[in-house]
Structure 1
Amino acid sequence: MPISAVYVDVDPNGGPLTVAIDRSAASTATRSWNIQVDQIPCSSTTRAPTGCLQYFTETSGTVMSFNFQNTITTGTPQIANTNYGVCIEMAAGYCGIIWERDTTVGDNGFTVSGNAAVLAPGLIGTPDASATGTADCTEDYIIIPGGVDDAGNLADRYCGLGFPNMVTSTQKPFTMFVVTNDNEDADAAGTIGTNSGFSLNYRQTTTC
């Protein structure tokens, strides 16, 4: 399981911050957590901008959805009821950001919505299995403001069981938003809860 860092704004004059961990009573699996907490001064240059649950400062890297695993199973679905921002600090001299599916995790680098069980073999992860726009992406999706794929198609929302070859955005600040609904549990047929989420590589570009 990859390590995930989250940034939470707190009132410096307020009380203690509480972390609540809730698990299903029906689960028989043994769970464990290893949580490190670091406090960041309000004036620190490393402080994440307001509204950024995740914050990356490198010119290239990988962003994974919470609970992402590189296998499609009913035991490792993407987390339900999320709506958060991922921010990339724009480096000096760069004007755009490129997003691509992480191919090191196999075909499952982008399984956000839809039923992987009925998809033809070889299509998972490919642009042919992707969907875009507000009409098709209504439940689980990511938002890349000002996104343009390698074919020149403009879209903000991306969902489905695949991702375009690349999506470029020159809109500042560099952000991505993640939205999931409340229906991520597996049903009896195993047709729900098989979406693992995403693992996307990003790289900043000077070509805009």
Structure 2
Amino acid sequence: MKNCIASTLLLLVAVTAIQAASVATPTCGGSTSSKNINLVNPSNPPRECEYHIKAYSKYVCQLRINWAMTLAQPTLETEDSGLTYAECTRDYFEVNGLKFCGTEVWQHIYVPFNATDGDSVVDLVVSLADRAGASGLPTASWDMTVTQLECPAGASVRSLDFEEEEITIEGRASTIKDGFFVAPPGCLQYFPQSKGTVKSFNYNDGNGIYPSRMNYAICFRRQTDTKALNVRNIRAYGFNVGAVVAASTLTTDEGCYSSESTNDLDADFLMVPQATLEDSHKHATYFCGSIKKDVVISSNNPGPLMVLFNSDDVYGQNEAGFAFTYVVS
């Protein structure tokens, strides 16, 4: 995991270097329109800590939020039907209707931002359970880096090159340099570098639980000469997805997501479009279960490079999630 940490730190350095500017550090309840923002828990955090992010310019199209945090793990809730699911109820970080909790070591998400609406504000909320008495909850902490990403005039997606666009922002000359980092629309996560590491939320070195009821796209940067996305190093400690987990068995397609199913049960999977297992040359799209040996999955999807993750309403044993390295070639 050392390579994972090193790659993440390099990306954080690159993100914060997008544009030289002072870093705003608002406290709980504060507002800021700075391009670069750092949010850190106070020594005695309140039960609810809310930050209000206002547009840095009318060209802001996305927020990239990187964070490390220690919050309570997801709670296992049981419905009247007897089914159990994992949900962030005691502590959580919430933005754009999504809730995250548990332990993260530099995770990230993208949040759309319509800066053309002058009243647009994105609220980031950290909500904590009552820690009075012997609650057994961890000491809450968070460290977030928020970067406001700008798109060139009239553009909703990033360009594939590094060209800078000279523009005028609120009467001052400026240059948009964010194109490399702006994600394609619809991507909750985006990895613009040609190689790196991807982890599910609250993975915590295989000791966490991914939240139930998630469905999101993880995207990668395609260049004009890109041929394939290779998902590598999926091992037992790195891949435990689905209530149907069997010992040392990587399950694919119908075993993960039945075409005859009329509900979302047993539908935890990592979806890799037009994928091929390198060792067996088997074609598959949906992946779940558990695996103890190295596996390489290659995707030659001609369109946007992405994988999709879905978690259903049912929590099963060993649903720790996934961690894999990737190479775009």
Identity score, percent: 22
Partners of 1:101 and 1:177 lie apart in 2 by: 18
The reply to whether residue 108 of structure 1 matches residue 108 of structure 2 is no
Q: Tell me by how many angstroms 1:90 deviates.
A: 1.6
Partners of 1:147 and 1:140 lie apart in 2 by: 18
The 5 A counterparts of 1:39-118 are 39-43=148-152, 44-45=178-179, 46-72=181-207, 76-102=208-234, 107-114=236-243
Where 1:70 maps in the other structure, the secondary structure is helix
Instruction: Please report the RMSD computed on the Cα atoms of aligned residues, expressed in angstroms.
Output: 2.5
Q: More relative contact order in 1 or in 2 (CA 8 Å, sep 6+)?
A: 1
Runs of 4+ deviating beyond 3 Å? 20-28
Q: TM-score of the superposition, structure 2-length normalised? A: 0.50
Tell me which protein shows more strand as a share of its residues. Answer: 2
User: Greater CA deviation, 46-55 or 193-202?
Assistant: 193-202
Q: What letter is aligned with 1:16?
A: V
Cα distance, 1:145–1:24 mapped onto 2, change above 3 Å: farther
Match of 1:181 among 299, 312, 318: 312
Match of 1:166 among 293, 296, 309: 296
User: Greater CA deviation, 28-37 or 153-162?
Assistant: 28-37
Contact preservation (8 Å) 1:113, 1:141: yes
Partner of 2:124: 19
Contact preservation (8 Å) 2:232, 2:324: yes
The reply to whether residue 9 of structure 1 matches residue 133 of structure 2 is no
**Which has more radius of gyration?**
2
Cα distance, 1:169–1:32 mapped onto 2, change above 3 Å: same
In structure 2, list runs of 5 or more residues that go unmatched. Answer: 1-103, 153-177, 258-265
Q: What letter is aligned with 1:15?
A: S
User: Greater CA deviation, 129-138 or 55-64?
Assistant: 129-138
Q: Tell me by how many angstroms 1:182 deviates.
A: 3.0
Q: What letter is aligned with 2:146?
A: V
Partner of 1:189: none
Q: Tell me by how many angstroms 1:3 deviates.
A: 0.4
The reply to whether residue 202 of structure 1 matches residue 305 of structure 2 is no
Contact preservation (8 Å) 1:59, 1:91: no
Q: What is the aligned residue count?
A: 183
In structure 1, list runs of 5 or more residues that go unmatched. Answer: 124-128, 185-191
Q: Tell me by how many angstroms 1:149 deviates.
A: 1.0
Q: TM-score of the superposition, structure 1-length normalised? A: 0.77
